[in-house]
Each structure stands twice: as C-alpha cells, then as structure tokens.
Structure 1
Amino acid sequence: MSRLSDVLLTAFAPAIWGSTYIVTSQMLPEGYPLTAAMLRALPAGLLLMALTRKLPSPSWLGRLLVLGGLNFTIFWGTLFVAAYRLPGGVAATLGGVQPLFVLLLARMVLHTPLTARHLLAAVAGIGGVALLVLGPAAKLDMVGVLAALVGAVSMACGVVLTRKWQPPVSALTFTAWQLTAGGLLLLPMAAFYELPLPALDAGNMAGFVWLGLVGSALTYFLWFRGIERLGPEVVTNFGFLSPLTAVLLGWLVVGEKLAPLQMLGAVIVLGCVWLGSMRARRPVAPKQASEADEQRAA
C-alpha cells in the first residue's frame, strides 16, 4: 500500500472522532460520561479480540494496562472533565498542544529528529484550531484547564509508547488489546461513580454502536496502524482534523454559522496537516553526491 493511502487512512480516524461531540450530545443519555466511555471501548475491544483470536502473553499485560490507561482511561476521563468545565473551544485549543508533546516525547524516547517543519506545523495548527473554535466569550476554569492538559499529555505518551512497545502482532490485534485494557479500567470507575443507565431507545443504541464500532474499533485500528507505518511525528498533526470535523458537522447538522475567522482557521488546519505529513527529503549519500558532481562537471 502506498504512503498516500496510509496517510489518508490514518487521517480518517481523527476526522471521524470529530463526530463524537454531536453524537454524544444528540444521541446519548446525559450524565453518563464514564459509562459512555466504557461502552465505547470495552465492547469494541472484545469484538476485535473475538475476530483476531489472539490473547496477549502474561509478560505484555503490564504494558497493555499502561497503554489502555493512557490512550483511553485517562484521556477520555479528562476529556469529559474538560468538556464539562470549559467551553468547547477552550478545551479543543488546549488539547491542540498534544502534537508538541508528541514531538518532544518522540525525540526523548524514540530519538526521532525534531525538525523545524514538524514544529511549525504543530504550533501553527494550535493557532488554526483557536481561530476555528475559540469564541470571544471563552472563560477559563483551572480544573478544566488542568484536565485538558493532562489529557493531552496522556494521549501524547500513549502515541509514543504505542510505537515504542509495538508487539509482534497485527495492528488489529494490538488495537483489540488496548481497547479491552482501557475498557476494563473504565468499568469499575463507571460502576462506582455513576448510576445504572436508563432504558435505551433506538437513538441511544445507534449512538453507542457508532461510537463503539466506527468511533473506536475502526478508527483506533487505523490510528495505531498509522503510528506503526508513519511514525508519531507524522500522525500527531492529524489530530487537528477532529475539531475541524466537529465544526463542520455543527454547521451541516445543527445549523451553526461559520465566521470568516473560522474559515481561515480551517484553511490553516488543513495546511498544517499537509505540512506535517510531507515526507522528509533523504540526504544524498557522500558517494552519490560526488558522482552527481562529476556528472555535472562533465
């Protein structure tokens, strides 16, 4: 499969994640964030494990609990806290610092080169998201700000460690293990802190199916596959597509208006995603360079 196909398939994941807000607000019962997160992760993980029919070895259980906790339990938990305590634009902008954390962690843990191109894409992407979603009446809540930053760091650590701890299994199997681990960690939290779900109607069921099958099983398979094939420093900027999709769905489905600054933000986001996904030029080997010089001299 070509690199372009890998890029497009990986970018599809955060684009779909942008539908989470509208699905949660329009189709799920209110007041059950931990239960919704658990039902998004655990059934999807168990389904993928049934399809792959491969269990992790005991030596991998500790790493899987760490990865499941970082990518799902902590990230989704803090995401809901930030969403409840901050305006959506503030939460999205603070979450947009994740690519910077990924670049720094990848440099320290994976020894990935820290290029000016990736740094520029990450910083400009934060500005694009701010223009896209940050309103003039935005207010800060320190608990919400802290939760958003903890979530960004948690996801960044999960992205880098997913690459570092890549087991000798398929991306689908690795996704199944991580979703199951994250769902199992969320299960006691949801049972302790939240009441049982009320009777679900058809709309509720459709929302849970969408978030579980498409928003988790499919998209996280594509996401972890992209981390494996493209590297964290490339994949991380695709996360800017999530708030872009959320804004576009609000415009198309709910009838929200798009201001000129939001349109500018959308253009900046797309430009940063493109810039971050560009293949770096390989330096010419000394022998090749000397041969090329000789040819030009001749």
Structure 2
Amino acid sequence: MTRRERIIAYCALGAVFFFWGTTYLAIRVGLETLPPTLLAGMRFITAGTVLFIFLRGWRRERLPTGREWLHQALVGLMLLGVGNGLVVWSEVWIPSGMAALMIATSPFWVAGFERLRSDGERISPRALVGMLVGFVGLVLLVAPGLFGATLSVGYVLGMVAIQIACASWSGGSVYAKHHQTKVAPLMGAAVQMLCAGVALTLLGTTLGEWRVLHFSPRSLMALCYLTLFGSIVAYGSYTYAVQKLPLSVVSTYSYVNPVIAVLLGWIVLGEPLVWRVMTAMLIILGGVALVKTAAKRPVTSEQQAVSIEANQRAEVLRGTTKACSVATN
C-alpha cells in the first residue's frame, strides 16, 4: 500500500469514527414517525442507487460479474440487512447511547470469528481477560433492564437483537476481509446497500409497515442524513478501510462511536447520562482495548513462503562460506 493510499484509508476511518457516532441519534429521530424496517430499507436503497449511478455514469466503474454480485449481496445482507437492520429495530426499545455502547462489543465477536479461521488471529490469555472485563461492563450496562424497574420484553429483545446484529456484522466483516474481489470498494458498497435495501424493504412490506409510514420534517431530515452521511460517506469509507487496513484497526471505530452517540443523546435528546452508564462505557472499552492489543497478527502463506525462502538462502550462503573456508585452509 502506497503512502497516499494509507493516508486515504485513515481519512476514511476518521469519517467512520465521526459519522457512525452520529447515526444513532439520527436513527432515533427517524423512528419518531417512520417504521424501523422501512427506515433502513429506504435509506440503503436510496444510498445504493445514488452511489451506483454516480460510479457508472461519472467514473465509468465496471459492473461486477455474477459471482461478484452474489459475494457482495452476501456481505450486504450480513452487515446491513441483519447487522444494521436489527440495530434500527432495537432502537425502538432502547436509548441510542445504550445501543452504541452495546455495539462496542463487536471486536469481541471479530476475535471469536477470527479464532475459527486457520489463518485468523489467536486469542491470548490477555485477550480472554479483556473479554471477561467487557462482560462485566455489559452486566453493569444492562443491569437496570434485568433487575430494575425498566425491565420489559421489548428492552430484553432489543438487547438480544443488538448482539445478533454484532455477530452478523462481525462475521460479514471477517468474511469480506478474507474473501476480497476485484470490485472497486465503492462499487462493492453500492451493491451491498442495494441488495440489503431491497431485502429490508420487502421485509417491511411483509410486516405491513407501509400502513404506519408517516414523514415529518424531523424524520425526513434524519432519513436524508442517514442516506448521505451514514451510508454513502461512512459505509463507503468503511468498505475502503476494511480492504486497506488491518481489521483490528478498523474495528476500533466501535471505541469512538459510543462516546459521540452518548454525548449527542444526552445533549440533543436529553437521555440520562448517569454514573453507571459512564462506568460501564469505560469498562467495556477497556476490555475491548485489552482484546485488540493482545491480538496476534496471523502469519499468511506469503509470509511463510518468504520466510522459507530466506532460510534456504541463508543455508546456501552458510554452505558456500564453509566451502570457501575449507578450500582456503
């Protein structure tokens, strides 16, 4: 990767840091009058269509092949269809800041999926400690919903939905990282959003959400913000960063997003910012940091080949030196 590509990749990651931290608030505002599944579906169909037309009409990007379409569709359904779709649905029941904090557990899921791969990262004792620390943070975070007065079926279902979303998003990210195609990152993002948007819209239609669809100035502005900044800018940046940077680096977006989301939820929506939430946030992020700093970078087949070749050259060099020494003596 060239220096220019590295700079662009980190700028893309910076966009992910900020804009995805703000989307939790935008989703919460959009849900004031828009049903969750159609909100996500309309967002991704619009963003995918705009980006696709721009890439084909302006930049003349090539169309993906049939197999590449299937690959991008699978990634889109895992990341956006299930991953983001369940996040939107969960925010009907839980505050936006809490949703962001729960999603900060995504690196734990990434570490688990990487462990299942022969060429993936291995979990060290330090990483296991980090996971336990993160679990303690989760217990503290969801304690009111489990033991307090706010316990409800919707609250518990929202928490479960968030974790399913994290698992799907993380699994899709690991799959996309290890199964890259020749499709340009932005074209891949456009196809993923189109496929996920169609799936979510069909699901929303099946659930009868069109009957309760109602636009207000606030929800329309939220939808436009999610489409432009949350999808076209941030998701396009994410797909680029995943291809150019280590997944352990990219996944750090979940460290920054909760801070932005919690602060916005507190400032704009008046959501409570009590000591328990702040403490839980610090514990969760501390656990995630332990996991990521303990992650071992996998040795690829190319690196193994280079190492073997270097050893062979060293053996030849030592043999040549020894032969010259014998001849001299």
Q: Same fold (TM over 0.5)?
A: yes
Closer, same or farther: CA 254–130 of 1 in aligned 2, 3 Å: farther
Query: Does the 8 A contact of 2:120 with 2:298 survive in 1?
Result: no
Q: How many percent identity over aligned positions?
A: 24
> What is the letter of the counterpart of residue 186 of structure 1?
L
Superposition deviation, residue 36 in structure 1: 0.4
- 2:63 is aligned with what amino acid? L
Between the aligned partners of 1:253 and 1:266, the Cα distance in structure 2 is: 19
| 1:150 maps to 2:158 | no
- How far off its partner does 1:203 sit? 2.9
Question: 1:57 offset after TM fit, Å?
Answer: 0.9
In the alignment, the residues of structure 2 paired with residue 43 and residue 68 of structure 1 have an alpha-carbon distance, to the nearest angstrom, of: 15
Give the CA RMSD over aligned residues: 3.7
Corresponding residue for residue 139 of structure 1? 151
Worse overlay, 231-240 or 171-180: 231-240
CA pair 201-37 structure 1, distance change in 2 beyond 3 A:
same
Deviations 1:248-287 (A, max 9, x none): 102322344544454455556666777748998999x999
1:226 aligned residue: 241
CA distances 1:105-139 after superposition (whole Å, capped 9, x unpaired): 123337123254666666655656776x6564353
1:235 to 2:250 alignment = yes
Which is worse superposed, 119-128 or 177-186?
119-128
**Corresponding position of 2:29:** 26
1:167-191 CA-partner distances (Å, limit 9, x unpaired):
1132111111111111121121122
Checking the alignment, whether the CA contact within 8 Å between 1:37 and 1:186 is kept in structure 2 is yes
- 1:37 and 2:45 matched: no
Contact 2:189 2:235 in 1 (8 A): yes
User: In the alignment, is the contact (CA less than 8 A) between 1:171 and 1:221 conserved in 2?
Assistant: yes
Among 45, 60, 65, which residue is 1:57 paired with? 65
Distance 1:216 1:118, change over 3 A: farther
The 5 A counterparts of 1:137-286 are: 137=148, 139=151, 141=153, 143-193=157-207, 194-196=209-211, 198=213, 200-256=215-271, 258-265=273-280, 276=292
Q: CA deviation at 1:26?
A: 2.9
Q: What TM-score do the two structures reach when normalised by structure 1?
A: 0.77
Residues 1:186 and 1:180: Cα distance change in structure 2 (over 3 Å): same
Cα displacement (A) at 1:14: 4.7
Cα distance in 1 for partners of 2:16, 2:232 equals: 10
The one-letter amino acid of 1:69's match is L
User: Is contact 1:39–1:183 with CA below 8 Å preserved after alignment?
Assistant: yes
Query: Normalising to structure 2: TM-score of the pair?
Result: 0.71
2 CA distance for matches of 1:205 and 1:86?
21
Q: Secondary structure at the match of 2:252?
A: helix
Do the aligned partners of residues 134 and 14 (structure 1) sit closer, same or farther apart at CA in structure 2, a change above 3 Å counting?
Answer: farther
**In structure 1, what is the equivalent of residue 320 of structure 2?**
none
Unaligned runs of 5+ in 1: 288-298
- The Cα of 1:213 is off from its aligned counterpart by 0.8
> What is the deviation of 1:246?
1.4
- In the TM superposition, residue 208 of structure 1 has moved relative to its aligned partner by 1.1
The answer (yes or no) to whether the contact 1:87–1:139 under 8 Å persists in 2 is: no
Instruction: Give the Cα–Cα distance (whole angstroms) in 2 for the partners of residues 209 and 51 of structure 1.
Output: 17
Preserved CA contact (<8 Å) 1:92 1:129: no
Within 1, Cα distance between the matches of 2:161 and 2:295?
Answer: 34
What amino acid is aligned across from residue 9 of structure 2 in structure 1? D
- Summarize the Cα distance change of 1:237–1:51 in structure 2 as closer, same or farther, 3 Å threshold: same
Deviation at 1:102?
A: 1.0
Q: Is the 8 A contact 2:48 2:191 kept in 1?
A: yes
Q: 1:72 aligns with which of 74, 80, 91?
A: 80
Runs of 5+ consecutive residues of structure 2 not aligned to the other structure: 57-61, 300-306, 312-329
Q: State the match for 2:12 in structure 1.
A: 9
